[in-house]
Chains A and B, each alone.
Chain A
Amino acid sequence: MTVGREGHSQVGSGAATRVEAEPSAGSAIRISNVTKSFGAPGHGPTVLRTIDLTVRENEFVSLVGRSGCGKTTLLNIIAGLERPTSGTVEIHGRAVRGPGQGQGVVFQQHALFPWMTALRNVVFGFRDASLSKSDKQERARELLQLVGLSAAADKYPREMSGGMQQRVAIARALALDPEILLMDEPFGALDELTRIELQQELLRIWEARKKTVVFVTHSINEALALSDRVILLAPHPGRIERDLAIDLPRPRLRTDPRFIALHEEIWKGLSS
């Protein structure tokens, strides 16, 4: 496997090197006092209000909340696709000014480029200018293998099932070798079986690659199966309601009484 953690400073153009001695060392993402409203300042409803959240390196954090409570908006702000109205987001101590600073994103719909094969979609993900075309192809094949899709390299997105498309999207995001992986309900449109399969794959990849993951879902089971921490967002305006550490060993069984108790707790938090 040549796609390693080495060389992840390639992301972004002339990005500053990591400041290891920051007081925030060990925290991968630091969201401070983030507020977001769309439209002219002072107008439009507040979508997010005073969000403070720190995600540690290699932590798997889920955002759970009703639809419309601002999960996607918060994820987009971390991704640098959306600017906060006020407040700051830092990744490894660097202020986020836009996308391509080490954030890999997997969207709810696969968002693959339909005119590219699976392989070319993943090749697109390599932004490192020092890699030759054949290097990129070789590494893209390795990533497709990692997500279990070696055989589908030459298929176009429309020729793949939803589960396969999402696997390619994950491989493409990994091609950036991102420090953090942001996932917005990536398995929301999949059937139950495929969904569970991909959850297991994701855990395997996360453990092998040691990524920091922020994962949006509206499935309590999914959040509990995957996360080190579950953040409950409350709507109108979007704000953090609870921050639950999930201290269960993996793989987790839904029949585990502690799993059930946590499920109950989150459920209560969401419906209050």
Chain B
Amino acid sequence: MNRERLTNIALPLIGTLIVVAVWEAASRLGAIDPRVFPGPVTAIAEAAGRLSADTVGEHMAWSLFRVFSGFALGVAAGVVIGVLAGWYRWFGLIARPLIELLRPIPPLAWIPLAIIWFGLGEPSKFFIIFLGAFFPVVTATYHGVTNVDPILVRAARTFGVGGWSLLARIVLPAASPDLATGIRIGWGLSFGVLVAAELIAADRGLGYMIMNERNTGGSVSVIIVGILLIGFLNLLTDAAIGSAIQRWIGRWHGSGV
């Protein structure tokens, strides 16, 4: 058990180190052109020279703030609409075709409309990120609410529990593993559209930092470090959400999501 845990932590670390080492070696041996693809040591050193930690920290903080806001709105709307669509048949009949129609549209395709509707400020970015979270959450919530084990509903009914009480005490908890899956996927998608959202005339955020460097003919190192930062942030926050979900439903549901 302990040994298995060690392996589970050690192997991914070793794998990452190998890839970084190969990357560094390839750059030192001249296998890749350092002007378009510098090695990790050069990239970090150069990026550190061009940007202060404060500046990077500020860009990161803005990106996180946007993702959290858009994501929170998307989760809230997704849960409410998903629950209503699953609980009231008539509402489901109206809402589901609309959701199914809009769901396959990539959030990025909404950018032009977002600019027209919300202008170039923060709301248009929230909107794009919101879409990233909304569709996975609304779909998973609907699925969870409509797929509650009927035996649990019957059992609750034998205790005279029905109506809203049935929804709150049985259906929602029973649907929470599905909801958790939707939240996790939604977080990933929200993060995924972050850079694109920040392309909408932003003046801060990691997406802006990257594009600005490209547009002003700056250093490719900053772009590489920026991209890796996005991945890293996503990894950390996803792990945090995963462990929160584990604490929320792990004990009774078994495996996490």
Interface residues of A (CB under 8 A from B): 11-13, 79, 81, 98-100, 103-105, 107, 109, 111-116, 124-125, 127, 156-158, 173, 176
Smallest CB–CB gap between B235 and chain A, Å? 29
- Known A99-B160, A100-B160, A115-B174; contact A107-B252, beta-carbon cutoff 8 A: no
Smallest CB–CB gap between B257 and chain A, Å? 14
**B154 & A81 in contact (Cβ 8 Å cutoff):** yes
**B151 & A111 in contact (Cβ 8 Å cutoff):** yes
Partner of A100, one of B158, B174, B176: B158
Smallest CB–CB gap between A11 and chain B, Å? 7
Partner of B173, one of A100, A113, A127: A113
Residues of B within 8 A of A107 (CB): 151, 154-155
Residues of A within 8 A of B253 (CB): 114-115, 158
Closest B residue, CB atoms, query A176: B159
Residues of A within 8 A of B154 (CB): 81, 105, 107, 111
**B157 & A99 in contact (Cβ 8 Å cutoff):** yes
**B252 & A105 in contact (Cβ 8 Å cutoff):** no
Partner of B158, one of A13, A103, A116: A103
Partner of B159, one of A125, A157, A158: A125
**A156 & B159 in contact (Cβ 8 Å cutoff):** no
How many pairs of residues, A versus B, come closer than 8 Å at their CB atoms?
A: 60
Residues of A within 8 A of B173 (CB): 113, 115
User: 8 Å CB contacts to A: which residues of B106-139?
Assistant: none
Between B156, B159, B169, B253, the greatest number of chain A beta carbons within 10 A of the residue's beta carbon is seen for B159
- Known A105-B155, A111-B151; contact A156-B252, beta-carbon cutoff 8 A: yes
**A114 & B252 in contact (Cβ 8 Å cutoff):** yes
Partner of A156, one of B152, B155, B251: B251
User: 8 Å CB contacts to A: which residues of B169-219?
Assistant: 169-170, 173-174, 176
Closest A residue, CB atoms, query B248: A115
Apart from A113-B173, A115-B252, 17 more pairs, CB < 8 Å = A81-B158, A99-B157, A99-B158, A100-B159, A107-B154, A111-B154, A111-B155, A114-B253, A115-B173, A115-B249, A116-B252, A125-B159, A127-B160, A156-B251, A156-B252, A173-B158, A176-B158
Q: State how many residues of chain B have any CB contact under 8 Å with chain A.
A: 19
- Known A111-B152, A113-B170, A115-B173; contact A158-B158, beta-carbon cutoff 8 A: no
Contact sample, A vs B, 11 pairs, CB 8 Å cutoff: A11-B160, A81-B157, A100-B160, A113-B155, A114-B253, A115-B174, A115-B252, A124-B159, A124-B169, A127-B160, A176-B158
Smallest CB–CB gap between B92 and chain A, Å? 23
Closest A residue, CB atoms, query B173: A115
A107 to B151, CA, bound (A): 8
A109 to B155, CA, bound (A): 11
- Known A11-B160, A100-B160; contact A158-B252, beta-carbon cutoff 8 A: yes
A115 to B169, CA, bound (A): 10
Closest A residue, CB atoms, query B254: A158
- Known A113-B152, A114-B252; contact A12-B160, beta-carbon cutoff 8 A: yes
Smallest CB–CB gap between A175 and chain B, Å? 8
Partner of A109, one of B151, B252, B254: B151
Residues of A within 8 A of B156 (CB): 113
Partner of A105, one of B158, B249, B251: B158
A103 to B152, CA, bound (A): 16
A156 to B252, CA, bound (A): 6
Smallest CB–CB gap between A119 and chain B, Å? 13
Residues of A within 8 A of B174 (CB): 113-115
Smallest CB–CB gap between A133 and chain B, Å? 15
Smallest CB–CB gap between A261 and chain B, Å? 37
Smallest CB–CB gap between B250 and chain A, Å? 10
Residues of A within 8 A of B158 (CB): 79, 81, 99-100, 103-105, 173, 176
A221 to B52, CA, bound (A): 81
A201 to B160, CA, bound (A): 27
Smallest CB–CB gap between A98 and chain B, Å? 8
A114 to B170, CA, bound (A): 10
A107 to B249, CA, bound (A): 25
A12 to B160, CA, bound (A): 7
A103 to B160, CA, bound (A): 10
Residues of A within 8 A of B170 (CB): 113
B228-257 vs A, Cβ < 8 Å mask (1 yes, 0 no): 000000000000000000000101111000
- 4 closest Cβ pairs, A-B complex: A100-B160, A111-B155, A156-B252, A105-B158
Between B152, B158, B170, B173, the greatest number of chain A beta carbons within 10 A of the residue's beta carbon is seen for B158
Between A100, A127, A157, the greatest number of chain B beta carbons within 10 A of the residue's beta carbon is seen for A100
A104 to B158, CA, bound (A): 7
Residues of B within 8 A of A116 (CB): 252
